[in-house]
Amino acid sequence: QKEVEQNSGPLSVPEGAIASLNCTYSDRGSQSFFWYRQYSGKSPELIMSIYSNGDKEDGRFTAQLNKASQYVSLLIRDSQPSDSATYLCAVNDFRDDKIIFGKGTRLHILP
């Protein structure tokens, strides 16, 4: 059974600080990794994708992947109150096609 694990939170971070969200996955064959943001009452929105080891930066967001440790993380720099949401980690391997989602981490940015 493929699994994606996240701390459910809530993770509280002061405005302007760095928020660090973590995710582990069980299937070593996984090849594609995604972070989705979901505001309360809304559908998930893709914010980052990463496919190779290392860091990928996009604005205030940095995704980090370590396949040896089966670990993927999302860093949010200069956190804003508008970043308060649930962040879903998702993992895919092309043998199966469908993406497996973690249950999400609730992030609360404190003004």
Partner 1 sequence: GAGVSQSPSNKVTEKGKDVELRCDPISGHTALYWYRQSLGQGLEFLIYFQGNSAPDKSGLPSDRFSAERTGGSVSTLTIQRTQQEDSAVYLCASSPPDLGGYTFGSGTRLTVV
Q: Which bin fits 35, alpha (ψ -120 to 50), beta or left (φ > 0)?
A: beta
Which residue's CB is nearer to partner 1, number 35 or number 73?
Answer: 35
| CB of residue 80 to partner 1, shortest distance in Å | 23
| CB of residue 17 to partner 1, shortest distance in Å | 26
The helix (H) or strand (E) run that includes residue 39 is none
Looking up tokens 């971070």 gives: 13
Q: Which chain residues interact with partner 1 by CB under 8 A?
A: 32, 34, 42-46, 49, 88, 90, 92, 94, 97-104
Which residue's CB is nearer to partner 1, number 49 or number 70?
Answer: 49
Which residue's CB is nearer to partner 1, number 76 or number 89?
Answer: 89
Which residue's CB is nearer to partner 1, number 3 or number 55?
Answer: 3
Q: What letter does residue 111 receive in the DSSP assignment?
A: -
| CB of residue 90 to partner 1, shortest distance in Å | 8
Q: How far is Cα 21 from Cα 53, in angstroms, rounded to an integer?
A: 17
Q: How far is Cα 93 from Cα 29, in angstroms, rounded to an integer?
A: 6
